[in-house]
Amino acid sequence: MSNSAEVAIVTGASQGLGRAIALELASGGRALVLSARRADVLAEVADEARAAGAPDVLVQATDLSQPEAPAQVVAQTMERFGRIDVLVNNAGTTKRGDFLDLTDEDFLSGFGLKFHAAVRFCRAAWPALAESGGSIVNISGIGAQTPAADFTIGGSVNSAMINFGKAISKRGLPQGIRVNTVCPGHILTDRLSKRVQALADREGITFDAAADRFRAESKIERYGTPEEIAQLVGFLCSDKAAYIQGTVIVADGGATPGI
């Protein structure tokens, strides 16, 4: 691979938003480093990325909740490519449920995979990003702005992601590292489908009826697609967004009621 090609690390790249973001970045001719737990699924995404335009793809199947994992992925990236231009921190799911039923382990797990992994990736990749004048995009979520009784872990993690991103954007400014945060809303992914199916099972209605009810309760006209979020991330990683720094962009179809 030519050293002139930009290199992007995408975490949580095996499905949903991560997969769509990886393919969007590949379409711009970037080499990719794909990280998630499942090597078999990542291999499929890698094939898709090559077909979409990525000149080279490195698969890193690992548990990013382990403290040493992010630095190891960064080290492997530098050994293979010698540079990092884009870091997209997308990995991480958090458990929903009644606050009184959630344990310390549930909270620690939620922060460990999403928040702490992002912190560790940013720290490990920082020198390479400073060298390239690169870009970090952290994926948070609208639970950060609109707390929900059944989303105390995810909402807290997403709020922390926003604060962290804003803070390190100030650190990155003099070094030419851009840091921004995207907060997706209700996006058509497997995760959303599971929530809709749970509603259908609970109410004894069809999946389509549950999807319509959930959409109406969310006060949106339609669900978003992973590709729409990916296009936003692609823009933020491009030179067209060179003057955007430390911002939070909400992409939720108007679901968030506040400002």
pLDDT tens by residue, 39-84? 999 999 999 999 999 999 999 999 999 999 999 999 999 999 999 9
pLDDT tens by residue, 238-259? 999 999 999 999 999 999 988 7
Could you tell me which of 157, 192, 164, 214 has the C-alpha nearest to residue 15?
192
Give the confidence band of 3 by pLDDT, cuts at 50, 70, 90.
low
pLDDT tens by residue, 153-191? 999 999 999 999 999 999 999 999 999 999 999 999 988
pLDDT at 110: 94
User: What are the beta bridge partners of residue 183?
Assistant: 250
Q: By the 8 A CB rule, do 115 and 164 touch?
A: yes
Considering the chain, what percentage of its residues have pLDDT values greater than 90?
93
* Beta strand 57-61 pairing with 7-11: unpaired
Query: Cα–Cα distance between 252 and 135 in angstroms, integer?
Result: 23
pLDDT at 93: 87
**Where does the chain show beta strands of DSSP type E?**
7-11, 31-36, 57-61, 86-89, 135-139, 178-184, 248-251
Query: Cα–Cα distance between 223 and 153 in angstroms, integer?
Result: 23
Locate CATH 3.40.50.720 in the chain: 7-186+225-251
pLDDT at 1: 45
pLDDT at 257: 87
Give the confidence band of 136 by pLDDT, cuts at 50, 70, 90.
very high
CATH number of 7-186+225-251: 3.40.50.720
pLDDT at 2: 44
Single-letter amino acid code for the residue at 17: L
The continuous run of DSSP H or E covering 172 comes out as helix 152-172
Mean pLDDT of the chain: 95
